[in-house]
A and B are shown apart, each in its own frame.
Chain A
């Protein structure tokens, strides 16, 4: 699954087909996570593994190159459920 999902994530992100859950989006600042860093992690995704309820954990670099984890549903768009720095998981 990893590689094909990673490819799909990168392709959708590069096309701008990314949306955030509004409630999750409102909490990003608590964790000092910017939408642009999430976009960077998705566009440059290096790893993706499936989780429960059809969600995917995507790992990729933020704009400074630090690893960021993004939980999302991937269909015709990427629906971002949450994001976190690895140490916070």
Chain B
């Protein structure tokens, strides 16, 4: 992926990497994750690539998977960080997609087993070089 050149129309600047601390509040908790942005010295445009933003998201999901809380907001963040649709999670957990929405909006209690399973998938994805999870692959196979 070429993120070397500034994307602003007509700008010839070459992007430079700069350290950045991503600050997020998820499920009532504040997180600070060391990250990096790309800055154009010509026009001043500052961007964060999707890959980097997604990495930050997964790091926070790992913290939630390890330490909780077991809330709908935490569940939603973990699902999103895995780039899973409501349908995909619903299939693996053997519920209807509307149930996932109710859990995430805290209209219905989430079974601890569902949070633990999603958390396991997050933690496996974090340590795998390609972001894969054996548990997710096995669960997907079993319910197919």
A20 touches B50 (CB 8 A): yes
B42 interfacial contact with A, CB 8 Å:
no
Contacts of B86 in A (CB 8 A): 63-65
Quote the shortest CB–CB distance from A88 to chain B (angstroms): 17
Q: CA separation between A65 and B54, bound complex, in Å?
A: 19
B108 interfacial contact with A, CB 8 Å:
no
- Given contacts A34-B77, A64-B86, A73-B9, is CB(A23)–CB(B46) below 8 Å? yes
Contacts of B79 in A (CB 8 A): 63
Q: How many residues of A contact B (CB 8 A)?
A: 27
* Inter-chain pairs besides A18-B49, A22-B47, A29-B26, 20 sampled, C-beta below 8 Å: A18-B50, A20-B47, A21-B47, A22-B46, A25-B53, A29-B24, A34-B81, A35-B50, A35-B57, A36-B57, A39-B83, A63-B83, A63-B84, A64-B86, A64-B97, A64-B104, A65-B86, A76-B5, A76-B7, A77-B7
A residues near B, CB below 8 A? 15-23, 25-26, 29, 34-37, 39-40, 54, 63-65, 73, 75-77, 79
B residues near A, CB below 8 A? 1-3, 5, 7-9, 20, 23-26, 37-38, 45-51, 53-54, 57, 77, 79-81, 83-87, 97, 100-101, 104
